[in-house]
Chain A
Amino acid sequence: MIVFRHRKTGETSFLSHIDTMRVLQRTMRRMRAEVKYSAGFVPHMLTYSTTPLPLGVQSLAEYFVADSPLDDEKELLERFNDNIPAGLKADFCAVVPQNPNLAAKVVASLYEVEAEENVSEDVKEILGLDSYVMKQFKKGQMLDVEVRNKIFAIETEGKKLRLTLATGNENLRVDSFVESLSRYGVKACANDVTRLEQFVLKDGRFVAAKEALL
């Protein structure tokens, strides 16, 4: 089983999750990764990923897992990068004994937002609130949703805003959250957001998924 940590930047940030998976699977074929197929009537490639990014959001830390018998990490990383569009190149590859099931294990992500103007420190007051309600499009309608328990950290530095938000089963959509920050004067769109890392929970602490794999 091989795990890649790849980016999703530039043009590729506008690819839907399904399209991204197709690109990655074709990369596996081009790099001759010998990925196994399911044994059903319509066999499909055995690959896995983490929680999809909202359209337009960029990332430096997407994880992609493929059921392959190959084990030379350095060579696999090279072959991966030779066979993928520029916006999806990887910076890390690990061979693991079994599917790490990151989709279920990832609980939070660190995002960086590059706003149009300096971000007010006031935005950090959210952390002191008991409740934070924002609009979210759910099941075909716009609803008011309580999300305070999904916001873990907020930091600001000039035009930059760093957010640690819930990811995975209890997910907080970063694009909707950033949009809600307009009430604090934050001017940014989904494409100004970059996911820097995804975390799993280990001994009560957030640990980068990459570290957890090693």
Chain B
Amino acid sequence: MVKLDLLAILVPALPLLGVFITGFGRRKLSAYAAGGIATAMVALSFIASLILFLGHDGQTHIVHLFSWIHVGAMDIPFAFQIDALSLWMMLVVTGIGTLIHLYSIGYMHDDPRVATFFAQLNLFSFSMLLLVMGANFLVTFIGWEGVGMCSYLLIGFWYTTPAFNYAGRKAFVMNRIGDVGMLLAMALMFYQFGTLNYVDVMQQGGLMASGNPLIVTATLLLFLGATGKSAQLPLLTWLPDAMAGPTPVSALIHAATMVTAGVFLVVRSSVLYELAPYTQDIVLWVGVATALFGATVGLFQNDIKKVLAYSTVSQLGYMFAALGTGDYGNGMFHVTTHAFFKALLFLAAGSVIHALGGEQDIRKMGGLKGVTKTTYVTFLIATLAICGIPPLSGFFSKDGILASTFAANPVAYAVLVFAAMLTAFYMFRLLFLTFFGTYRGTAHPHESPKVMTVPLVVLAILSAIGGLLNIPHIFGGHSWLNTFLASAADGIGMHPLELSAGTEWTLMAISTALVLLTIWYAWSLFCKKTTLDGEPADMPFLKRLIAKRWMLDELYAWLFEKPFGWISKHFFSIGEEKIAVPLTAGTGKATLGFGEWLRKVQTGNSSFYLFAMMVGVVVLLILTYFSA
């Protein structure tokens, strides 16, 4: 299988090559050259993934590059795992990545550090591919940290604004909290299984009893890592702040790919999760709570990207809810469709921002329908898709999740349907305020160049027809994606829905009807007339609480920052100033004084040196004699 090996190495190697070319040539390359090279590298990587995908035979292939860590019983190879799951993620990452790289050529063309931007974007693609292709937890962890670092770099890309740097730092620190969980989980698994290779861990783990405390702990810790990366409660406050980065970054990293890494990790370890029902319950409820949280906060945001960010949080909650019910196939399906329509939403929002010369406040938009036609149409398609209007892609993935949640827990189902209604409300509020009514700003809107609209159109088509990937049985489909992924992860397809066709039809009708109702309500509020929200201070209590993100940041500040600040301050004033500094400075002073005294031994008189040496020899010999 030389061809497979070569292609598997090429997929991550090409973006890495792009990093070197654009990174080292950043002073020489023009904006278009850098963008072109970076895009070409990811596109070639996509083609390589496609060839691998088309030639896939349903088996799991391990591509062994070299033995990486070999200490005692620990043998960790640097290897890639090519199976249905990683292939699917590779396609999503490189495919969406190519479109977003292409879009960035237009979006970033007048930035002075455009080549650096593309180098970092390519580095992100490389890390993300490493993450999804790794054949053991440690290789995945490299990618995991790599995407975290790229996320930090790209959030703070415009580093001259301090707030952006703080946002990047916040994302990094929050991710670290999750990473600790992942590291501990790896240590635990290595302790238990003596290996970190997915294949071996899953094989050995699969033999253990359900509810084994060790597996529950390991899966909980892994889930902690996933909550950090995928912005689930309680580690989600970094994602809205991460919108400080350039819009293509928000689209690629904070909507389409990196934030789904947590979902990927859980699906990758699905065998273990299947054995830990407690963890599954926790995953379900965290997902449901996050979905509701994101949807509510999205209601009253005025920044176009913030609305989308909370929407992302909410949709990620859906994915985890699906994972919590054991419906891994629909979770991955939603990852895919969400990657389509959320990337599209972000790119379209970027197009709007670009058209308005950097304006992000939806209160100063409006009436853009006529000016930016392509953007409007694609944004509309994406909005319909995310709201779950049939037959767009979001309908299939979301209803799949809702159905499996209903089967698992009706209460969770009710909450998710409510969140879906909220989603429809805030998305259409966004749509109406941005594109309908009259223009309320001062800039001169213009449609974006072709290089930006082409990706929009492609993504719009994908958002529209993406549902075809996984048509459920009741529509006469064969759940193709589920079947495809089932060869990779044992958990997928293990729970056939135990709902009658009638129940499923009813569920779909209910959710669709409720969503349509909400859309009508939003229309009446924001399209017939224009209702603008003021500042949070003027709102009634509950609304103010929601608009201020349920005070989550303030809660963390009160819960962690203040006590830690207090402890740090006292550690500094007592530990540092009273103990550590005198100790270290005193040591230095003592050494200096002793040296000052001792240097008098250095007389420069060679006879004296000789004498000292002889005395030393005598003393040594005496010591030897008496010790022998």
Are these two chains actual partners, yes or no?
A: no
Binding site for A on B (CB under 8 A): none
Binding site for B on A (CB under 8 A): none
